[in-house]
Amino acid sequence: MNPRRDVFPHRLDLQHGCVELSHGGGGRAMAQLIEELFLAAFDNAWLRAQDDGARLMVPPGRLTIATDSHVVSPLFFPGGDIGCLSVHGTINDVAMAGAWPLYLAATFILEEGFPLADLKRIVDSMAHAARHAGVPIVTGDTKVVERGKGDGVFITTTGIGVIPEGVAVSAHQAQPGDAILLSGSLGDHGMAVMAQRENLRFDTSIESDTAALHKLVAAMVAAVPGIHCLRDPTRGGLGCALNEIAQQAGAGMRLREAAIPVHEPVRALCEFLGLDPLYVANEGKLLAICPAEFADTLLAVMHGHSLGREAAIIGEVVADPHCFVEMATVFGGRRLVDWLSGEQLPRIC
């Protein structure tokens, strides 16, 4: 993309410059930020048209639309950043409807003073994630707030996708007898971010598992169109996701702790801090609930995909008027997997 030197005689200083209020003001400064930063990274025909909205062709069928805001701190963490997180997160929301994601929109709320070098890093990461996923970012918006009124950058992404014929995925479909499958290890994202917190200072190799799951989902719904429910256990972890589904379905669940994969460094950091991996956020994992007769087929499909190598059948849905999610512990006893009200905090007791 050639910069238009007559309109923008001085290029943005992407190395040392900072976001200024004028970058959100709707004038030339904002146009330059959009062109030299956002369009340069996201480059596609829709954005090159530079219209306010994008005109799209969508295949026939039911559409799904999902939106997600991203406020993670720190902005950069092992395995990812707020940029790729925002792309993967919304692609995954769309995919959890069993849908194939088509397009993304992205809005940015920038804090005055935020370094352009960091913004470029984030935007490049989003562009890379979107290209790798094959889902273009076709429209967006930028606003700037005064210093002190934002945490550097907040990103909201919205995605639309099309649901294949014959696929009807919803928590309400889960029923007693269904198998519960998990695509891989728990807690990687949440603990990767937690280890970076200034006042915790743990040295670990834990990396966020942030990833776009739509191709895995496509393989799964192709093999088993009768999947009842898909959910990605993000904030609140597997524990909260399953409780939500249980409530929506009006059923209970029985899990087996021994079947749930958790990588050793994640387990170890959870032990240090007194956290339960069941409630730690994941950004590249999914839960699938399907009729029991398809569980093995679904598991095999998941194992055949790079994002499902550690997939496991972790339990089943049961009739339970209280909608409890219970778990058989590795020790042989049972415990409730309660629906936490808020986030876990590290404890000393």
Partner 1 sequence: MKYLDEFRDGQLARGLAARICQETDSTRHYALMEFCGGHTHAICRYGIEDLLPGNVRLIHGPGCPVCVLPGGRLQAAIDLAEQERVILCGYGDLLRVPGARGDTLLKAKARGADVRMVYSVDDALDAACTHPNQQVVFFAIGFETTTPPTAVAIQQARREGLGNFSVYCNHVLTPPALRALLAAPLPSPHRRQGIVQIKGQIDGFIGPAHVSTIIGSQPYEFVATDYQRPLVIAGFEPLDVLQAILMLIRQINANDVRVDNEYTRAVSPEGNRKAQRLMDEVFTIRPSFEWRGLGELPGSALAIRPAFADWDAERRFTIPAIPAIDHKACICAEVLRGVTRPEECKVFATACTPDHPLGACMVSAEGACAAHYHYGRFRQAAAS
Partner 2 sequence: MCLAIPAQVIEMKDNEHAVVDMGGVRKQISTALLDEIAVGDYVIVHVGYALNRLDPDEAEETLRLFAELAAATEAL
Site residues, partner 1 (CB under 8 A): 199-201, 258, 264, 267-268, 271, 273-274, 276, 322, 324, 326, 328-336, 338, 341-342, 345-349
Q: Which is nearer to partner 1, 150 or 161 (CB)?
A: 150
Distance between CA atoms of residues 194 and 192, nearest Å = 6
Q: Which is nearer to partner 2, 52 or 331 (CB)?
A: 331
* Rounded alpha-carbon distances, angstroms, from residue 243 to 168, 238, 322, 339: 21, 8, 11, 6
Q: Which is nearer to partner 2, 186 or 317 (CB)?
A: 186
**Among partner 2, partner 1, none, what does residue 204 contact (CB within 5–8 Å per kind)?**
partner 2
**H-helix or E-strand containing 118?**
helix 116-133
**Among partner 2, partner 1, none, what does residue 2 contact (CB within 5–8 Å per kind)?**
none
Q: What is the rounded end-to-end Cα distance, in angstroms, of the chain? A: 58
Q: What's the one-letter identity of residue 19?
A: V
**H-helix or E-strand containing 141?**
strand 137-145
Structure tokens, 295 = 């569980």
- Closest approach of partner 1 to the CB of residue 267, in Å: 7
Contact 335, 236 (CB under 8 A): no
Distance between CA atoms of residues 93 and 196, nearest Å = 26
φ, ψ (nearest 5 deg) of residue 236? 95, -15
Q: Which is nearer to partner 1, 209 or 257 (CB)?
A: 257
- Closest approach of partner 1 to the CB of residue 135, in Å: 37
**Among partner 1, partner 2, none, what does residue 203 contact (CB within 5–8 Å per kind)?**
partner 2
- Closest approach of partner 1 to the CB of residue 138, in Å: 37
Match 């240090």 to its residue by tokens.
Answer: 272
Nearest to residue 159, comparing CAs of 125, 179, 178, 136?
Answer: 136
> Residue 25's CB: how many other CB atoms inside 10 A?
12
**Among partner 1, partner 2, none, what does residue 269 contact (CB within 5–8 Å per kind)?**
partner 2
**Interface residues with partner 2 (CB under 8 A)?**
195, 201-206, 264-265, 267-269, 271-272, 274, 347-349
The edge-to-edge listing of strands for the beta sheet with 62-70 is 62-70, 153-163, 100-111, 137-145
Would you mind telling me the total number of residues written for the chain in this entry?
Answer: 349
Q: Which is nearer to partner 1, 101 or 236 (CB)?
A: 236
Match 């976001």 to its residue by tokens.
Answer: 19
**Among partner 1, partner 2, none, what does residue 324 contact (CB within 5–8 Å per kind)?**
partner 1
- Closest approach of partner 1 to the CB of residue 329, in Å: 5
**Among partner 1, partner 2, none, what does residue 26 contact (CB within 5–8 Å per kind)?**
none
Q: Which is nearer to partner 2, 195 or 211 (CB)?
A: 195
**Among partner 2, partner 1, none, what does residue 329 contact (CB within 5–8 Å per kind)?**
partner 1
- Closest approach of partner 2 to the CB of residue 198, in Å: 14
Q: Which is nearer to partner 2, 254 or 263 (CB)?
A: 263
User: Which DSSP letter does residue 187 get?
Assistant: S
**Among partner 2, partner 1, none, what does residue 342 contact (CB within 5–8 Å per kind)?**
partner 1
- Closest approach of partner 2 to the CB of residue 112, in Å: 37
Contact 44, 136 (CB under 8 A): yes
Contact 242, 339 (CB under 8 A): no
- Closest approach of partner 1 to the CB of residue 343, in Å: 10
- Closest approach of partner 2 to the CB of residue 188, in Å: 13
Q: Which is nearer to partner 1, 60 or 333 (CB)?
A: 333
Quote the distance between the C-alpha of residue 60 and its chain's center.
Answer: 26
